[in-house]
Each structure stands twice: as structure tokens, then as C-alpha cells.
Structure 1
């Protein structure tokens, strides 16, 4: 897969309908074969009415441009705060998310052409801080496994999830956590390269990525390359596209071990005008 993530936002609804076929056709011309829709419901956003119709039309535009879809499901706007509650209290939270995920997957399976969907994306991102403890990793892995199993009841399509690191776990501990999650759940893991956020020094980032590029022992199925530069704090995220020369260099990257090559995100490749 050579994929581009699109993160739907309400403000995108202000763009003309003609913008989208052009944007997706441009993506196809650049050699991309897949669009990963980061979520198809964000809290209550895109859950009903004109918002849901608008998003459906955008997915149909992508299909019309000969792009495959990996469809993101339910995203909780407060997920990081919610996940900080004691682990033993998380079961009800995860169950609610699973129910929403399955409802969405059923909807898209009925609405879109059967061969246009190549996978499901679980929007919960796995970080290297919250899940450091082995006991917490086992709980998370079991919850991801439930989502994967429920989705498998609907279709035989794979499920994907992303993870990121910020230096909270030692390199081998981080890799071990990913192995635990992958082996328990069967989910396909993509790891973000962290370059856009610039939290770690390049040499530190390289250590994590090198450990995941050992093809006979990697738990991951691909990398997400960030094609932006963060210019604000995490609490008020703001980013800008890479300059053209750096963008071209970034887009030439390919995941190790024949894995999926994914880029984040469409709005940093194509000018949305906002």
C-alpha cells in the first residue's frame, strides 16, 4: 500500500464540491493507491444529516478517482484524557467505542462498492507512555482484539491501528509492547515516524525506527511518514506543510521490509486554502 491519510474536519465542508475530485485525482497521479480516512465519526461530528452525507460523497469521490479506502471508524475527541482513568475502569469505555466502530463499519459496508474498501482503521492511537506497564498492555491488547474480531465477523478485511513514540519507553520496551498488541489481537500496526512533531532528536528517532526495521522480527506492517512541521505546542496543535524540496524528499521514502508506506496528511500535500 502507498497511502495518504485524510483527516476530515468540519471546516473542509466549506470547500467547493469540485475541489475533491481534483484533489483525489492529483493523489492518484502522484502514485498513491489508497486513502486512509482517519475517522468517519469524531464525537458527534459526521454522525448524521448533512455532515454524514458530505463525508459519504467525499469517500465516493476518492473511489471515483480509482483510489482504495481504508476506513477509519469512531474517534473520541477526549480519548487521551479518557484513557488516563484507572485501567480497571476502562472496560465500559472500550465497549462503547467497539459498538460505535461496528455500527460505522456496517454502514460503510452497505453504502460503498464492495471492492473499494481494503481495510478498517481504529482511530485510537497507541502511545509509549500510557501503556508502559505489562498489565496495561495486556488489557489494551485484549480490547483491540475484540474490535478486530468483531470486524472480522462483518468482513474478512484487515484492521489497522497506529502507534507513536516520544521517548517515554526505552527502544526495546516499545518494540515489546507492539509485539504484545500485535500477537494478541492480530491488528496491523503502523508506527508514526515522529519527524513532524520533532519531540526527539533525529538520532533518537532513528534508534526506534531501526529496531522496527529488522525484517525477521518486526511487529509492524508499515510506517506513517509525517509531511508537516509542528509549529505549536501539543495542547494547541498547529502545523505547516514542508517546503517543496523537503516534501519531495519525504515523499520518496518507503517503509522497510516491503511494508505499507503511509503519509500524514492530505492537507499538507494539497492546498486546502485554510
Structure 2
């Protein structure tokens, strides 16, 4: 439910941020349990929480009476800074993983929807301005996604990402997933482009950071 993440900051890496992925079944967690969990997170040294999304597929976690608002209030009271995730359709990984010609247009549509949601979500109605760290774009990126389909259309995807970030006045973060097949030069190229656009970037790896040579090579660069 809660995942630590590494943030790229030259010249060193530090992990003081933790991810929380809201799920419908989390509504069963009680307020005392949330308090105890976030106390433990704070004791472990984390000071920022990324709410991975405020809507996943048809499920909106910030509608009236939803449990996520209570979680945000508890996190604020414990002095966490909060990254508010936006929207991810529930077929995102399936569509992007297929690497078909229509995946590029799909990617652009999802970006446009996220841009629209920034204007719809009222930050001050969810958390206090002082606790707001920025937005998180839930569209986890990979080298394969950025070159789909079939190594064509990268310029279009880069343009879509640049157009998106120009609509955001606040900080905006995104994750980059390093797969086993990602070449080091390709990863460094992607990372350089994303950070030069203005994204705050987090690295993700399925089997953790300590066992993956590519991750350490990326960090060293």
C-alpha cells in the first residue's frame, strides 16, 4: 500500500518520500489505524506522501464522503507535504503495453484529461496550501512507452508532454520505470528529456533499487 521512492537530485539520492496507492478496500481502514500507520511512516523519516491518483478508472477517491479526504487531513495534521496524484484510466498499461499505432493518440488523450483535471481539482478544498507539494502524473513512463509505436512518433509524445507541463503552474512529478530490457543510454536519454521539460522524476523498479545494476548506473550518471 505504501511504497518508498527515490528522487533524482544531483549530486545525491535521498528517499524521504513514500507512495500511497488508494484502493476501494482501503475504506475499511479505521481512523485510528490510519493515525497509527502515518505515525509509523513519520517515525521512519518520511516527510512527503505521494497520493498516486485521485481517480483510477471510474473510481473517484475525492468525491464527497470518500475516505481519502480523511486520510489527507490526518497526513496534514502530522505535517506531511502531499503530492496529489491525478487520473489514470484502468486500461492504461494494457493499451500502452500493446505498442500499437493507436497508443500514441491514447497517450495524448490521457494527458489532455489530466490537464483538465488539474483545473477541476480545488487544492484548497482537499489540503492546505502549505501542505501541497505539487501534482503527480500517474502515467508511469517507460522507454517503450515513449518510443511507441514501433519507435515512431516520439516527437509527438514529447510535444504532448511539453504541452501538458506548460499548463501546470505548480510542481509536477512523474515516475520512470526501468525495465530489465532498458538500455542504459536509452534510460539516460529519457531521464534527461523529462527533467529538462521540468518534471520532478522518480525512478521505479519492480524488484527494488538495490538489486538492479542499471538503476545504480543511472544514479551514478
Which of 115, 118, 127 lines up with 2:133 in the alignment? 118
Alpha-carbon distance in structure 2 between the residues aligned to 1:136 and 1:116: 38
Shift in alpha-carbon separation, 1:168–1:138, aligned structure 2, 3 A? farther
1:212 matched to 2:218: yes
Alpha-carbon distance in structure 2 between the residues aligned to 1:24 and 1:47: 19
Give the drift of 1:66: 1.5
Gap runs ≥5 in structure 2? 1-14
What SS does the aligned partner of 1:118 have?
A: strand
TM-score by length of 1: 0.65
Which of 131, 135, 145 lines up with 1:130 in the alignment? 145
What SS does the aligned partner of 1:25 have?
A: helix
What SS does the aligned partner of 1:189 have?
A: strand
Q: Is the 8 A contact 1:102 1:151 kept in 2?
A: no
Going by fraction, where is strand more abundant, 1 or 2? 2
Alpha-carbon distance in structure 2 between the residues aligned to 1:140 and 1:181: 11
Give the drift of 1:209: 1.7
Once superposed, which parts of structure 1, at least 4 consecutive aligned residues long, lie more than 4 Å away?
Answer: none
Pairwise CA RMSD: 2.4
Alpha-carbon distance in structure 1 between the residues aligned to 2:119 and 2:95: 20
Alpha-carbon distance in structure 2 between the residues aligned to 1:150 and 1:111: 20
Which of 158, 164, 176 lines up with 2:189 in the alignment? 176
Q: State the partner residue of 1:270.
A: none
Alpha-carbon distance in structure 1 between the residues aligned to 2:173 and 2:86: 11
Structure 1 segment 1-274 matched on structure 2, within 5 A: 2-45=16-59, 46=61, 48-51=63-66, 54-83=67-96, 84-86=99-101, 89-90=105-106, 91-104=108-121, 107-132=122-147, 135-152=152-169, 157-183=170-196, 185-196=197-208, 202=211, 205-206=212-213, 208-214=214-220, 218=221
Shift in alpha-carbon separation, 1:130–1:168, aligned structure 2, 3 A? farther
What SS does the aligned partner of 1:36 have?
A: strand
Q: Is the 8 A contact 1:74 1:101 kept in 2?
A: no
Question: In the TM superposition, what whole-angstrom CA distance separates every residue of 1:209-247 from its partner, at most 9, and x where no partner exists?
Answer: 233223xxx5xxxxxxxxxxxxxxxxxxxxxxxxxxxxx
Give the drift of 1:143: 2.2
What SS does the aligned partner of 1:18 have?
A: helix
Give the drift of 1:50: 2.8
